[in-house]
Amino acid sequence: MTTTRRAALIGAGTAFTLAACGPASPRAAGDVIAAGQPAALLIWAVARDRLAGWPRKPTAQALGVLPGRAADLAELGALASGGQPANLEAVAALKPRLVIDYGDTDPENQALGDRLKIRLGVDWRLIDGALTKIPEAIREAAVLLEAGQAAAGLADEAARILDRWRGAPDGPSFYYARGADGLETGFRGSLATEVLEGAGWSNVAGVSHDIGRITREQVVAWDPEALVTLSSVFAAAVRDDPVWRTRRDGRRRRLLLLPEQPFGWIDRPPSLNRLLACAWLADPAGSQATIADLSRRLYGLAPVEPVMPQWIP
Amino acid sequence: MSGLRLEGLVAGRGSFRLPPLDLTVAPGEVLALIGPNGVGKTTLLQTLAGLLPPLAGASVDTGAAAAYLPPPGAVSAGFSALHLTALGRARLRRWSPGLTPKDVDAARGALDRLEVGDLADRPFDRLSSGQQQLVLIARLFVQDAPVCLLDEPLALLDPAHAQAVEAAIRALAGEGRVVIASNHHLPFAARADRVLALGPDGMTVGVPAEALAPDRIRALFGVEVSGCPCCGQALS
Amino acid sequence: MNRLKAALLPAGLILLALVGALAVMATGPLAVAPEALLAAVIGTGSPEAELALALRGPRLLAALTCGAALAGAGAGFQILFRNPLAAPDLLGVSSGAGLGAALALLLGAGAALVQGAAFAGGLAAGGLALACAALTRSGDGRLALILCGVVAGALASAGLGLVVIVAEPYSQLPSITYWLLGSFTRATLPEAVGAVVPVALGAGVLIWLGFRLDILSLGDEQARSLGLPARPLRLLALAAAALMTSSAVAVAGVVGWIGLLAPHAARLIVGERAGRLIPASMALGALFALLIDRLATAFGPAEVPVGLLSAAIGAPAFLILFVTTSRRS
């Protein structure tokens, strides 16, 4: 099904569902709308009281490790592309003061922002979502959201983590297995695998600079040293599968399971959550304390023992 | 082969009923079925063939199946005439996966007998109505059913083919079968062994001389003719 | 047509399909020499060759099974309904199977369960169509079957649309979409073998029915007059075709046009008789599936969904075939 048709179906479905549910609009606790999930994470990290709603509500598992406020916020849909589109009327009914979009600053997204700014009558800001610009993004968001000093500390920590990440020792060649069957991947240069590639790991998949779908035989032909996945379902399924775990010379292929809660460490969404992977890649053995601290700053809850990446035997 | 015996058979469909029919037909007899359009000839033939359930009564015979031939043009098939004819032996091949060479030989023999052997490998749909009808009667030979019911077998046929079909019908009966054929062509009925006339006022069975008397024709068809109402031929 | 030649043609086509399978077996992203593959078959191959075998074997089996099943079912439907546009999806089986798979993916089931759900969904849709058609007492039943099949298919499609709306857009929706578009590479060996069994059963039934299908194609009246129990046999044929179609969709997703194209092409080679048309269609269907399997991985590492390929190639091929045959006659 093409994206437009899918989007149309989903849009129609949302519209009907919202209409059927009656005119009651979700009770907003904040006045800043996130145009997409990456922006939502940025706002949540910098000034979570100001966030009006989730473009896509986190799963029940994720909500379990986020502060209670996260569960109270309603799902609004995404104003930018990617995921279920938002109902503009419902968004406007919340009377927001600002919309923040966090991601690619290409002309397309700028134009989208300009259009929606006129339609909604609300101020729209597009912040550059590049990984290396995270400290600047945090500072810019702090200014927009009038967040104050706490945000400055986060920005500094982010800058330190990125420095260490850049100097990380080289890692293995890898294949990023996206989704439960692992046949979707981020090719070399894509947003999904940026964190690993920047730390000196080499991505075996190279066709475009985006997401794509390949076959198992292709993975065998590329012969990566390691498989990287966010999905525990995939990890469990291929743990003992010789086709996935045997390399071309007969050795066993390594399997890395990255944490996924509350948000994936490298990919979903491409936002501040990726700092956790950066911290780990810089120092796999001794970064537990840094990660615990970073988790608390980003999400608001500090797990006693944070979930760490696992090399599955 | 046994004949056909009907006791109080009431053929019909829905609210349409024919009068009860008591009839005995001996093997080897050709019975012509005449009557105006819509009177129920096809219904009666289909009931005798077992395709429609009788509303009352039964045909008491030794349980042998009857073969039914619809009017020309009703059967359409893309495969060869030979294969269509060989399909007549389907009843014998209950469980086997295919038709045997014996079946094919029997089919070829039947086609040759009716002098259409050269049409054997041509697709059935490409044959003329007359040729198709001969092939279908060849299939009746192959099928070897003791009772053959033909619905308007001479319709749409040119005189040459009509003659050939009539000869084939007689040959069918000659082998001991009961043949009942409905027809508008009264000279055919005149040459049959007996005539069953279905009229608006009831059924009568009798020899052609009686059944085709001018006053009976008038009562049946409502026209005053001395010969056949459709072609004017004299009825001998 | 010479009798011997006529009987040998379907066998020749089947042989061609098997040869094609062997040829395709030697192709793929992994550069493995055929001798190495052979060594792997007997268990003495390098790890690389073993991997290649473990991946290509199921892929080929799935392709052959899917192609043969859809073509055989399509041929069966075309004979029974005397309609050259009859396709395996006539009873809504493909749509039902797609719905089953989508539901299983929505609930996060594993691959084997998805296949099972697709199989069950296809049979359910087909069964619904047959049951509804049986309720109507129309004489021949063929029109009723077509209409009920359309209704069953439409219901399944509507259900599918609902699943698509509810699915999580980042992981579930792409899974469902790609599953529906079709792929031969996702089946493992147990799954592929599991698909072969129902297909072989259905094909066996259709081939055994052989000349009886020819009789059924003449209509109920003629069939009963020739001494055949028309309704039970027709039901058997339809059930066999539905079984084959369900298996094909369960193992490979929705692959269209094979079931329409292969019987037409086969008809040109072996004629109209069911006894020859069904095996010949299956062989041609398997060949066509091998062709699109080869093409699916020919354009770089990204796999082109075979459903798209079968439409892209099958539709124009069907048109060409149709035009040439109608010009001939």
Domain endpoint, select from B144, B170, B192: B144
Å from C302 to nearest chain A CA?
A: 4
* Cβ <8 Å between C210 and B79: no
In a domain, C43, yes or no: no
A abuts C (3+ Cβ pairs < 8 Å): yes
* B 36-75 near C (Cβ less than 8 A): 46, 49-51, 65-70, 75
In a domain, B113, yes or no: yes
In a domain, C313, yes or no: yes
Burial status of residue B120 (CB atoms within 10 A of its CB: 0-12, 13-18, 19 or more): buried
pTM: 0.85
Spell out which residues of chain B touch residue C210, defining contact as CB-CB under 8 Å: 97-98
Burial status of residue A148 (CB atoms within 10 A of its CB: 0-12, 13-18, 19 or more): exposed
**Percent of chain C with pLDDT strictly greater than 70:** 98
How many separate helices (H) and strands (E) can be counted in chain A? 14, 10
* Cβ <8 Å between C275 and B87: no
Residues B18 and B129 in one domain: no
DSSP B50: T
* Cβ <8 Å between C224 and B77: no
Confidence tier at C140 by pLDDT (50, 70, 90): low
Subunits that touch chain B (at least 3 Cβ pairs < 8 angstroms)?
A: C
Tell me, yes or no, if B34 comes closer than 8 A to chain C by beta carbon. Answer: no
Q: Is the dihedral of CA B43, B49, B52, B54 positive or negative?
A: positive
Pairing of strands B147-150, B178-182: parallel
In a domain, C254, yes or no: yes
Those residues whose C-beta lies under 8 Å from the C-beta of residue B106, and which sit 6 or more positions away, are B86, B89, B142
- What is the predicted pLDDT for the residue at B62? 45
Spell out which residues of chain B touch residue C228, defining contact as CB-CB under 8 Å: 90-91
* Cβ <8 Å between C227 and B97: no
CB B161 within 8 A of CB B131: yes
Confidence tier at B217 by pLDDT (50, 70, 90): confident
In a domain, C125, yes or no: yes
How far is residue A181's CA from residue A234's CA, in Å, rounded to a whole number?
6
B abuts A (3+ Cβ pairs < 8 Å): no
Residues B135 and B157 in one domain: no
| pLDDT tens per residue across span C56-67 | 899 999 999 999
Beta strands in chain A (DSSP E): 32-34, 98-103, 123-128, 173-177, 184-186, 202-203, 211-213, 226-229, 254-257, 310-312
Residues B11 and B120 in one domain: no
- What is the predicted pLDDT for the residue at B235? 66
CB A120 within 8 A of CB A88: yes
Burial status of residue C316 (CB atoms within 10 A of its CB: 0-12, 13-18, 19 or more): exposed
- What is the predicted pLDDT for the residue at B3? 79
CB atoms inside a 10 Å sphere around CB A206: 13
Nearest CB to C175: which of A179, A237, A247?
A179
- What is the predicted pLDDT for the residue at A24? 47
Å from A1 to nearest chain C CA?
A: 6
Q: What is the CA radius of gyration of chain B?
A: 18
Burial status of residue A4 (CB atoms within 10 A of its CB: 0-12, 13-18, 19 or more): exposed
Tell me, yes or no, if B90 comes closer than 8 A to chain C by beta carbon. Answer: yes
- For A265, the 3-state DSSP assignment is coil
In a domain, B152, yes or no: yes
Overall number of domains in chain B: 2
In a domain, B71, yes or no: no
* Cβ <8 Å between C226 and B80: no
* Cβ <8 Å between C169 and A10: yes
Domain endpoint, select from B125, B144, B163: B144
Q: Quick one: which of C50, C40, B209, C255 has its CA closest to A250?
A: C50
In a domain, B106, yes or no: yes
Task: Tell me the residue range of the domain where B117 lies.
Answer: 76-144
> How far is CA B97 from each of CA A243, A307, C279, rounded to the nearest angstrom?
43, 65, 13
Overall number of domains in chain C: 1
Residues B236 and B199 in one domain: yes
Tell me, yes or no, if A83 comes closer than 8 A to chain C by beta carbon. Answer: yes
Q: Quick one: which of A147, A146, A196 has its CA closest to A175?
A: A196
- For A300, the 3-state DSSP assignment is coil
* Cβ <8 Å between B90 and C1: no
- Taking CA–CA distances from C224, the nearest residue in chain B reads B51
Residues B9 and B40 in one domain: yes
Task: Tell me the residue range of the domain where C158 lies.
Answer: 3-24+52-328
Interface test with A, best of C107, C162, C163, C165 (most A CBs within 10 A): C165
In a domain, C78, yes or no: yes
- What is the predicted pLDDT for the residue at C205? 96
How far is residue C270's CA from residue C7's CA, in Å, rounded to a whole number?
9
For residue B213, the domain's CATH number is: 3.40.50.300
Nearest CB to A215: which of C48, C161, C185?
C185
* Cβ <8 Å between C29 and A6: no
Domain endpoint, select from B144, B167, B188: B144
Å from A97 to nearest chain C CA?
A: 28
DSSP helix, strand, coil percent of chain C (3-state; round to 5): 80, 0, 20
B59 or B142: which carries more pLDDT confidence?
B142
| pLDDT tens per residue across span C263-272 | 999 999 998 8
Burial status of residue A57 (CB atoms within 10 A of its CB: 0-12, 13-18, 19 or more): middle
Residue with tokens 């060479």: B101
Q: Which range (A75-79, A242-246, C238-242, C314-318) has the least confidence?
A: A75-79
How far is residue C11's CA from residue C74's CA, in Å, rounded to a whole number?
19
Spell out which residues of chain B touch residue C224, defining contact as CB-CB under 8 Å: 50-51
Here the tokens at position C211 are 């000349």
Q: Where are the alpha helices (DSSP H) in B21-86?
A: 41-49, 81-86
Q: Quick one: which of B155, B148, B230, B225 has its CA closest to B186?
A: B230
* Cβ <8 Å between C301 and A247: no
In a domain, C227, yes or no: yes
* Cβ <8 Å between C301 and A214: yes
Residues B113 and B190 in one domain: no
Q: What angle do CA C117, C121, C125 make, to 5 degrees?
A: 175
Residues B27 and B120 in one domain: no
* pLDDT tens track, chain A, 313 positions: 455 677 667 767 666 665 555 444 444 468 899 988 899 999 999 988 889 888 888 888 888 888 888 888 888 888 876 666 778 888 888 888 899 999 888 888 888 888 888 888 888 999 998 899 999 999 999 999 888 788 888 999 999 999 999 998 889 999 999 888 888 899 998 888 999 999 999 999 987 878 888 889 899 999 999 999 998 888 998 999 889 999 988 899 999 999 988 888 988 888 999 999 999 999 888 888 889 889 888 888 877 778 899 999 8
In a domain, C61, yes or no: yes
How far is residue B78's CA from residue C78's CA, in Å, rounded to a whole number?
12
Residues B155 and B46 in one domain: yes
- What is the predicted pLDDT for the residue at C258? 94
Å from B210 to nearest chain C CA?
A: 33
In a domain, C10, yes or no: yes
In a domain, B70, yes or no: no
Domains of chain A: 3-165 (3.40.50.1980), 173-312 (3.40.50.1980)
> How far is CA B55 from each of CA B12, B51, C140, rounded to the nearest angstrom?
6, 13, 21
Please determine, for the modelled complex, whether the ipTM score is greater than 0.95.
no
Residues B83 and B134 in one domain: yes
Q: Is the dihedral of CA C116, C121, C122, C128 positive or negative?
A: positive
For residue C133, the domain's CATH number is: 1.10.3470.10
Q: Where are the alpha helices (DSSP H) in chain B?
A: 41-49, 81-86, 101-113, 129-143, 159-174, 186-191, 208-211, 214-221
Pairing of strands B16-17, A98-103: unpaired
Side chain identity at residue A122, one-letter code: V
Q: Quick one: which of C239, C127, C236, C252 has its CA closest to C196?
A: C252
Spell out which residues of chain B touch residue C218, defining contact as CB-CB under 8 Å: 75-77
- Asked if residue C259 has pLDDT above 90, the reply is yes
Residue with tokens 């593959």: C37
How far is residue B195's CA from residue B206's CA, in Å, rounded to a whole number?
6
Q: How large is the average pLDDT for residues C190-215?
A: 94
Those residues whose C-beta lies under 8 Å from the C-beta of residue C122, and which sit 6 or more positions away, are C93, C94, C96, C97, C100, C242, C245, C246, C249, C250
* Cβ <8 Å between A9 and C52: no
Burial status of residue B158 (CB atoms within 10 A of its CB: 0-12, 13-18, 19 or more): exposed
Residues B155 and B44 in one domain: yes
* Cβ <8 Å between C164 and A9: yes
* Cβ <8 Å between C171 and A214: no
Residues B104 and B152 in one domain: no
Residues B202 and B185 in one domain: yes
CB B230 within 8 A of CB B186: yes
